[in-house]
Structure 1
Amino acid sequence: MQISVFSAAGLHPPGRRSFLTKAACALALVVLADVLFFGQGVGWTAGLFSLAWVLAVVIARPGVLAGRPSVAALAAAGLLALTLIDDPGTLAFLLVWAALALAVLLPRAGAFDDAWAWSCRLAVHPFSGLLRLAGDAVVWTRAWRRVPVGLRRLVPLLALPVAGTGLFLALFASANPVIRDRLASLDPGALLRGITPVRVGFWALTGAVVWGVLRPGHLLRLAAAPPAEQRPPSAIPGVSIASVTLSLIAFNALFALQNTLDVAYLWSGAPLPGNLTLATYAHRGAYPLIATALLAAVFVLAALRPGSPLAANRLLRRLVYLWIGQNVVLVGFSIERTLNYVDAFSLTALRLAALIWMGLVAVGLVLICWRIWRRRSTAWLINANAVAVLAVLVGCIVVDLGNVVASYNVRHNREVAGTGAALDLCYLHRLGSSALLPLIELERENLSPETKAEVTALRATIMRRLTLDQADWHRWTFRNARRLDAAIAAVGEQGEVAGCDPCL
């Protein structure tokens, strides 16, 4: 009895999306990745590859089009792929992968329970995919060995055509100098010399990533615990209505003291003790206060779980509302501290990320309060926070944060505004093309001749590099095309500029 590759592997018959279809899609993606990325810069090609990946998922796994959740995930992957065409980034690519993984896993899970469970599944998914890839390789090898002897039939079939073609080609080469010279110029070893260990590793890594999405493993159920609502709330040692009440009273008093001090020093302008400056006071407190707010959130979630006697106590709920309100005020003061530090030492991408994170913490605290008030489930709280985080991440992808930082520093520095931090041209240099248009804006300001020459030289350096990047079709992006067009419209074509880049 003949055993096909499909039956030996326990796979779908050829009438459906077969193993070979998935393998062909994976191979096509590996070849496309080699052409677009290996030894090349990354530009709009990241979006092109992501769109091809979305198309491969539709071809290899048509079941993703059967349900609304998987279709929504697939559509999200396509939209994120478009953002990669505009401006490539690691975060956007990771979100494309997560959306595609969701699209192929959702039909197997049946429903979307909560974001935490799916985060666990996505964390396990790459390892599950590697195990599946190894198992498929073993099954494929065994199945291929059972295929009826075909090579022995293929050799006699091809022997005459190959030998005859070679003979006539040799005769034509001896009679035609053009054919002879063309054959002599061929280098059969060039292809083999291009296959290096690094390139093979690149193929293997790309194949493993795309194969894990096209043919996911079976660890889906092991990756998620049952929802919290299905587990009865258990008592926590040392936690009672009396202890939590006393704790919340003490916590509220302590937080009120901290917030009062912040009002005194940050808003009313009261003098700080000793040699402590406002910038130092702001910087020391910003991050510890955020950690304090997070610990407060953990305490509330652990002590006042839905269905527990503590959550049903009206006094406790009111104390919690007061405490969460104080935590939101505390986060507000942390943001105020960070802004004061930015005024003294300029804005950086890390400080902007910290401000965004603080805003997310405040949103999370408000959601906890809403959950207690409206008696929402744990799954609702997790999903609401996940939506907030995803909205922020997508916003960070769409908005050029480097341009935001550069624009702020250009407009708020000592050389332009007369107050604030000194102009840090080297940091603007590290921001790359994101700083080009703000530098052009800065170049028009009334600067000292020395500073203006440095700004012009830095702008010319960044513009020249951007022009070279845009000339390479691998690294070309829509965002940089718009940026370069705006720069050319403002200062003209890039030419030689007197002066030297101060950061080189």
Structure 2
Amino acid sequence: MPRPAPYSFLFKPAAAAGLVGLADLMLFDHEIGWTLGLAALAFPLTALALQPALGRNRLALAALLAACAFALVQVERPTLVGLLLFWTCLCVAVLAPRAGRADDVWRWAQRLAFLGICSPLAPWLDLVRLEKARKRAGPRRRIRDVLLVLILPIVGGAMFLSLFAAANPLIESAVENLRLPEIDAPRALFWILGLIAAWAILRPRTRRKWLPLPEGLGTLPGVSAASVTLSLLVFNALFALQNGLDLAFLWSGAPLPAGVTLAEYAHRGAYPLIATALLAGLFVLVALQPGSPTAEAPLIRRLVVLWIVQNIFLVASTALRTLDYIEAYSLTRLRIAALIWMGLVALGLALICWRLMRGKSAAWLIGTNAAALGAVLAACSLVDLGAVAAHWNVRHAREVGGRGTALDVCYLRGLGPAALVSLAELERRPLPAGLADRIAWARDEAFEALARDQSSWRAWTFRGARRLTRTEALVAQTSPRSPLPGPRDCDGRLLPDRVPAAPAAPQPLTSQPRP
């Protein structure tokens, strides 16, 4: 790789300050909106401008394009997951010219971790290197020499100024009115962290030696073909018992024993069974490494395949438990995330089985799982899980003829603008008077919050604008009622010690124009 021009280093401090200044203007002490995407987009473009080698490396160029795509996702709707994916792609891009073509995910994980750990120290290490370079340059003055030159005029000037202030009341008054500028501690911290992040991208640090990925742990004490065979027989029998009970009660719909409800049976087993599946996968990774005597035994291989199939069925039963619980109660962001996690666990178990049967390496297993996780996170950065939960709840609530529980207005209100369109759609249905009043109150709160954010040019987002437009169209098709005035609890019910006044005339919903 060609060496950079000697003057290229001088542009990077100014570029780092410019990036942080742009982030300060767009983000600091303001609501986060599309400006997060604009500030993020400046980072890969600046890195490409100051490091031309990024454009000549295929991996770096692909990672830069991915980083720009995730930055544009923040213009659509800022999310923490999308921001983390953006930063990961950007770090991969700036490190790619220094990496080997055959590096696996394990080595890249070490490289990214090293960059994160060394980033806070990188500016100071570069200052030390710059000072050493100046020493080798010869007659140029060093920073220490410049400071020594300034000591005498500064100290002497301060001494004479104090004497003149004592002798002249005008000078004394002027000196007393001098005030140092106040330091804004939060903004100073924002600038420090921003400069560290920008410097890590413009001057990334890496190393040449990495920890190798262990392909095997050797022969473990007490682990033999006989012990593994007996263990797999016991494990298969226990899993068959659990899966048989799930088949009898979850999948077939048979009535549970007296005193046990479906909600209790479904909810209690979800997380322990996922932990069981993870422990099973760990056992296969440790005790049955590809190429080991235990992994080559035909009986053990068949028992392992049977056991992993039972584990996958166990994960499917766990997902069914969660779905039954959702149908009986309601859908939340956390329950959606739990279902996604169960799918990843099932995929990981299938990949472990495939690795054992095909003799794949540990690097292949880690890389495949990392690719699956990245794809899922990318999808989650695009989809608003809160809006998905709100849409499902308003369509399956008991009040609208669904099989679920009563509508949880408190949870919908907590979702904020994510539930706005669903609340507006729910108002079009025939509802009891009390529920209609609570829905109108929750919709009003969500609409006002979103309209307030959209009125700010920094907090404006494409998705927020579409939600306002959709809500106004839905409300225009109906005759929305105005909620009764008065204080309410979280669920929208009026507090009993207040008598509501007569309802006001319906007011049309309007939003601020797009900037």
State the TM bucket, normalised to the shorter chain. 0.7 to 0.9
Aligned to 1:8: none
User: By how many angstroms is 1:398 displaced?
Assistant: 0.7
The answer to whether the 8 A contact 2:427-2:480 is kept is no
Report the Cα distance in structure 2 between the residues aligned to 1:269 and 1:41, rounded to whole angstroms: 49
Q: Does 1:14 align with 2:2?
A: no
Q: Distance in 1 between matches of 2:402 and 2:42?
A: 52
**Structure 1 residues 140 and 31: CA distance shift in structure 2, 3 A:** farther
Question: CA 1:251/1:290 → structure 2, altered by over 3 Å: closer, same or farther?
Answer: same
* Equivalent position of 2:99 in the other structure: 109
In the alignment, structure 1 residue 485 sits paired with structure 2 residue 477: no
Task: Give deviations 1:432-463, integer Å, cap 9, x for gaps.
Answer: 11101110111112210110111012111111
Q: Which secondary structure state, in structure 2, belongs to the residue aligned with residue 228 of structure 1?
A: coil
Q: Does 1:200 align with 2:185?
A: no
Q: Is the CA contact 1:454–1:502 (under 8 Å) kept in the aligned structure 2? A: no
Distance in 2 (alpha carbons) for counterparts of 1:191 and 1:443: 58
Q: How does 1:208-227 map to 2 (within 5 A)?
A: 208-218=196-206, 220-221=207-208, 224-227=210-213
Match for residue 395 of structure 1? Answer: 379
Verify: 1:449 aligned to 2:439, yes or no. no
Count of matched residue pairs: 452
Offset at residue 138 of structure 1 (A): 4.0
Please name the residue that 1:294 is paired with: 278
Aligned to 1:165: none
SS state of the match for residue 294, structure 2?
coil
Distance 1:495 1:254 in 2: 58
Map 1:396-435; keep pairs closer than 5 Å: 396-435=380-419
Q: Distance in 2 between matches of 1:121 and 1:495?
A: 57
Identify unmatched segments of 5+ residues in structure 1.
Answer: 1-10, 153-187
**Which has a greater percent of helix?**
1
Aligned twin of 1:23: 13
Tell me the distance in 2 between the aligned counterparts of 1:228 and 1:142.
40
Question: What letter matches 1:497 in structure 2?
Answer: S
> Could you say which residue in structure 2 is the equivalent of 1:498?
483
Q: Distance in 2 between matches of 1:142 and 1:382?
A: 42
Alignment map for 1:237-386 (pairs within 5 Å): 237-386=221-370
1:476 match: secondary structure: coil
Change beyond 3 A, Cα 1:148–1:113: closer
Residue 495 of structure 1: CA displacement?
9.8
CA distance 1:273–1:498, change in 2 (3 Å): closer
Cα–Cα, structure 1 residues 412 and 116, in superposed 2: closer, same or farther, change >3 Å? farther
Aligned to 1:300, the other structure's residue is in SS state helix
Q: Which one of 431, 450, 459 corresponds to residue 466 of structure 1?
A: 450
Q: Secondary structure at the match of 2:296?
A: coil
Deviation per residue, 1:397-448 (Å, 9 max, x gap): 0111111000011111111124311111111111111101110111112210
Q: 1:191 to 1:425 in 2, by over 3 A?
A: farther
The 1:25/1:244 distance shift into structure 2, 3 A limit, reads same
Aligned to 2:173: none
Contact in 2 for aligned 1:241/1:310 (Cα 8 Å): yes
| d(CA) in 2 for partners of 1:352, 1:113 | 34
* Deviates further, 368-377 or 429-438: 368-377
Structure 2 counterpart SS, 1:310: helix
CA displacement 1:158-190 (0-9 Å, x = unmatched): xxxxxxxxxxxxxxxxxxxxxxxxxxxxxx999
2:423 aligned with 1:439: yes
Deviations 1:212-242 (A, max 9, x none): 1211223x446x421334xx65111111111
3-state secondary structure, aligned to 2:24: helix
CA distance in 1: counterparts of 2:342 and 2:124, whole angstroms: 43
Give the match's secondary structure for 1:311: helix
Paired residue for 2:163?
none
Aligned counterparts of 1:403 and 1:304: Cα–Cα separation in 2: 44
Q: Deviation per CA, 1:299-358, whole angstroms, max 9, x where unpaired?
A: 111112122122222221111111110000000000011111112221111111001000
Contact 1:40–1:474, Cα closer than 8 Å, also in 2: yes
CA contact (8 A) 2:290 2:355 kept: no
Question: More displaced, 292-301 or 272-281?
Answer: 272-281
Q: Which residue of 2 aligns with 1:119?
A: 109
Identity, % of aligned positions: 50
Q: In structure 1, how many angstroms separate the alpha carbons of the residues matched to 2:120 and 2:102?
A: 24
| Residue 22 of structure 1, CA deviation | 1.8
**Is residue 126–residue 209 contact of structure 1 (8 Å, CA) maintained in 2?**
no
> Judging changes above 3 Å, is the alpha-carbon distance between structure 1 residues 389 and 112 closer, same or farther for their aligned structure 2 residues?
farther
Worse overlay, 62-71 or 37-46: 62-71
Q: 1:347·1:408 contact (CA, 8 Å) conserved in 2?
A: yes
Superimposed CA distance per residue, residues 469-501 of structure 1 (whole angstroms, 9 cap, x where no aligned partner): 011011011111111111112214999933256
1:142 to partner: Cα distance: 7.1
Supply the distance in 2 between the matched residues of 1:248 and 1:492 (Cα, whole angstroms). 64
**Runs of at least 5 residues in structure 2 that lack an aligned partner in the other structure:** 147-176, 493-515
Please say if residues 395 and 402 of structure 2, whose CA atoms lie closer than 8 Å, have aligned partners that are also in contact.
no
More divergent stretch after superposition (493-502 vs 439-448) = 493-502
Write the mapping of 1:30-45 to structure 2, written as runs, cut at 5 A. Answer: 30-45=20-35
Is 1:137 matched with 2:127?
Answer: yes
Aligned residue number for residue 174 of structure 1: none
TM-score, normalised on structure 2?
Answer: 0.82
SS of structure 2 residue aligned to 1:497: coil
State the alpha-carbon separation in 2 of the partners of residues 315 and 189 from structure 1. 87
The residue that corresponds to 1:6 in the other structure is: none
- Work out the CA distance in 2 between the residues paired with 1:221 and 1:333: 46
The residue aligned with 1:158 is: none
Distance 1:266 1:414 in 2: 23
